[in-house]
A = this chain, B = another copy of it.
Amino acid sequence: MTSSNKPALPVIRRLPKYYRYLINMQQAGEKNVSSSELSRMMGTTASQVRQDFNCFGGFGQQGIGYKVDTLVTEIRHLLFGDGQPLPTILVGAGRLGTAVSQFLVRDANGYSLLAAFDNNPELVGKTLGGIPIRHVDELRSFCSQYHPQVAVLCLPREGATQLSSTLVEMGVKGFWNFSHYDLSVDYPQVMVENVHLGDSLMSLGYHMRNL
């Protein structure tokens, strides 16, 4: 596979969805899929599907459709590389952090949670899904030693502003951000996935109240 040009963000965001659909098809024993079948599942157009796949070199021959196995293998490789999990830390081990850590430890999403950090003395020393909770004061020394690449932020807005700067300085290159602080504005060079569950609930609430 040759990568023709750097794919745009919306294309990358659709990859996991393609991957989920294709895994379902593979499990159902389906061998081939056309771009129009995929487009129906994705809620997009067949032309969009072909364009998306062309960003990664094509994946198949137009006219005869795509092989499900090939698509799964290629997209898995794009998403998970050689399968080596990304060394990850979680900052903020309160209720939100505990909830979020479940998503990291229960699924094989390609991340390896090394440690959790908090500044609450009542949490430090405990564990969170089998992972030790350390004091945030140990953050720098931990990063120097273990070089986490991803940080999951589950702390209040004020804390996030200051800590993210330290983390970027210590070599963290990606954030899974649940705090109410839009990191990407300040650090255009790092990758940020902002997950604002509260925003999602508020949008739904707006719709419900304005049906």
Contact = CB atoms under 8 A, between A and B. Distances in A.
A173 interface: yes
Given A150-B204, A176-B204, A191-B208, A102 B99 contact: yes
A109 interface: yes
A180 B17 CA distance: 9
A205 B201 CA distance: 25
Contacts of A202: 15-16, 19, 79-80, 109-110
A19 B202 CA distance: 10
Contact of A205 (B110, B157, B200): B110
Contacts of A111: 201, 205
Interface string A93-135: 0011011101110110111000000000000000000000000
Interface centre among A12, A80, A103, A150 (most CB of B within 10 A): A103
Contact of A203 (B99, B150, B193, B205): B193
A176 B200 contact: yes
Contact of A198 (B12, B103, B206): B103
A205 B80 contact: yes
A136 interface: no
A19 B201 CA distance: 13
A194 to B, nearest CB: 9
Interface in A148-177: 149-150, 157, 173-174, 176
Nearest to A13: B203
B16 A196 contact: yes
Contacts of A199: 13, 16-17, 20
A7 to B, nearest CB: 9
Contact of A99 (B41, B78, B103, B209): B103
A149 to B, nearest CB: 6
